[in-house]
């Protein structure tokens, strides 16, 4: 199946439970479940957060949540079901969010990932992120995180 079979759209309230399960199973595995349905629902309703869902035939197969600030954005969550990984779904989600951030005047996007997650590290590098620092104990005081940044080009108005 190609990524072309995937449609992207904003999350709605009915997505909270499946997206929370994605977070539990694919992002937070072994750490405890902090992004439960209520927390995902609050992200969906937060005007400063964009939660984007990738759907195949109307069924969520991946998602990403990004918080927008004045000049920087934070990619908080990104998950794609294993059977859809390495097919361009994650790339579609991230590129959509990066373009939205650029249009919104954001100058940088930040993300943290588990130090041991080499596939995620390679993925983020492939979409232009660079490692900035490592934070020991970031995940429940047990696991080190890599913080990565993607600088965005923002056009400056001339007057």
Does a structural domain hold residue 137? no
CA-to-CA distance for 53 and 155, rounded, in angstroms? 28
Q: What is the pLDDT of residues 66-90, one digit of tens each?
A: 999 999 999 999 999 999 988 999 9
> Span 107-120, mean pLDDT?
94
Does a structural domain hold residue 101? yes
Asked if 43 contacts 65 with a C-beta cutoff of 8 angstroms, the reply is yes
Q: What is the pLDDT of residues 39-55, one digit of tens each?
A: 999 999 999 999 999 99
Structural domain that includes position 10: 3-109
Does a structural domain hold residue 155? no
Q: Is 20 exposed, middle or buried (0-12, 13-18, 19+ CB in 10 A)?
A: buried
Does a structural domain hold residue 95? yes
Cα separations (Å) of 67 from 31, 76, 90, 100, 158?
Answer: 22, 7, 17, 12, 28
Does a structural domain hold residue 80? yes
User: For position 29, what pLDDT does the model report?
Assistant: 86
Does a structural domain hold residue 131? no
User: For position 1, what pLDDT does the model report?
Assistant: 44
Does a structural domain hold residue 159? no
Q: Residue 23: give its domain's CATH number.
A: 3.40.630.30
Does a structural domain hold residue 118? no
Report the domain count for the chain. 1
pTM of the model: 0.89
């Amino acid at each position: 199946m190609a990524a072309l079979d995937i449609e992207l759209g904003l999350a709605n309230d009915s997505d909270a439970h499946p997206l929370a399960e994605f977070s539990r199973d694919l992002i937070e595995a072994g750490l405890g479940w902090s992004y439960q349905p209520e927390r995902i629902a609050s992200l969906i309703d937060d005007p400063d957060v964009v939660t984007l869902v990738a759907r195949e035939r109307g069924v969520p197969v991946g998602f990403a949540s990004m918080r927008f600030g004045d000049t920087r954005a934070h990619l908080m969550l990104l998950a794609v079901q294993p059977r859809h990984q390495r097919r361009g779904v994650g790339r579609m989600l991230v590129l959509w969010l990066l373009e939205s951030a650029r249009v919104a005047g954001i100058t940088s996007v930040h993300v943290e990932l588990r130090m041991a997650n080499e596939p995620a590290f390679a993925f983020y590098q492939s979409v232009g992120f660079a490692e900035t620092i490592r934070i020991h104990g970031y995940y429940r005081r047990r696991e080190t995180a890599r913080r990565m940044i993607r600088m965005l080009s923002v056009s400056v108005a001339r007057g």
